[in-house]
A and B are shown apart, each in its own frame.
Chain A
């Protein structure tokens, strides 16, 4: 991009890209010069302005491509949280995107984490959600944990839950960590790692 001054060239480039200054990398190729009395040898300033791949844009771009390849008409909204990015899908046919027990949503979440971390060259944590699924699942897991802990206390036998993702297991552990009568731990290898609830000894 060229301009009478470096500043003007940058402004023009930002307008053309529709980007803010903190979203780009700027390289000055040539400082402009006014020349002699503004007549002789005046040179235009030349700058190269390249868009930095920011995580929000990379996430949105990747998921929009995937959704269109799945022939799903869903929108993607990305919000930055403290230490992760929360993606919410909106539209119809979202049940398909969630899958049985969140199977599809979790698979796509895993692939999105890998793809976007590659694209921007650093590890990012991305959580996908649709129709409040994560919240509903969390509430269901907390209820399950409480119900099973009661059974463990009543019978004295340990209970082994079905395989869950690390996030889901954490919800179970957290739900019971303040229970003085039971302890929880995980056993087995991913993706078949399961939470075990048993009586606290002593």
Chain B
């Protein structure tokens, strides 16, 4: 799941080397914290959060197979 968020984020930003994802495992849910360069925030959020929403939708689909709830937070 971590790798998926990284792959998607790196393809969207100007500074792929500054993309990092931390995975925090809970019992039923997983929190993925996505960090990008400050200047790249808009590239992973998008107008009205459209890009962030698309990333969450794709990650949610991948997580569904593992029966876990995934939360993607952009920090």
| Chain A residues within CB distance 8 Å of chain B | 62, 65-66, 69-72, 93, 96-97, 99, 103-104, 107-108, 110-111, 114-115, 118-119, 189-191
In the complex, which residues of chain B have a beta carbon less than 8 angstroms from the beta carbon of A111? 8, 11-12, 51, 54-55, 58
**Is B61's CB under 8 angstroms from A96's CB?**
yes
**Is A114's CB under 8 angstroms from B58's CB?**
no
With both chains docked as a complex, state the minimum distance between the C-beta of A101 and any C-beta of chain B, in angstroms.
Answer: 12
With both chains docked as a complex, state the minimum distance between the C-beta of B73 and any C-beta of chain A, in angstroms.
Answer: 18
In the complex, which residues of chain B have a beta carbon less than 8 angstroms from the beta carbon of A110? 50-51, 54
Q: Does B64 count as interface, using CB distance less than 8 angstroms?
A: yes
Number of interface residues of B (CB under 8 A): 20
In the complex, which residues of chain A have a beta carbon less than 8 angstroms from the beta carbon of B11? 62, 111, 114-115, 118-119
7 sample A-B contacts, Cβ–Cβ < 8 Å, listed by A number: A96-B61, A96-B65, A104-B61, A108-B58, A111-B11, A111-B51, A119-B11
Counting residue pairs across A and B whose Cβ atoms lie within 8 Å, the total is: 63
**Is B48's CB under 8 angstroms from A107's CB?**
no
Closest Cβ neighbor of A62 among chain B residues: B11
Q: Does B25 count as interface, using CB distance less than 8 angstroms?
A: no
Q: Does B4 count as interface, using CB distance less than 8 angstroms?
A: yes
A104 to B8, CA, bound (A): 14
With both chains docked as a complex, state the minimum distance between the C-beta of A100 and any C-beta of chain B, in angstroms.
Answer: 10
Closest Cβ neighbor of A111 among chain B residues: B54
With both chains docked as a complex, state the minimum distance between the C-beta of B8 and any C-beta of chain A, in angstroms.
Answer: 6
Closest Cβ neighbor of A72 among chain B residues: B62
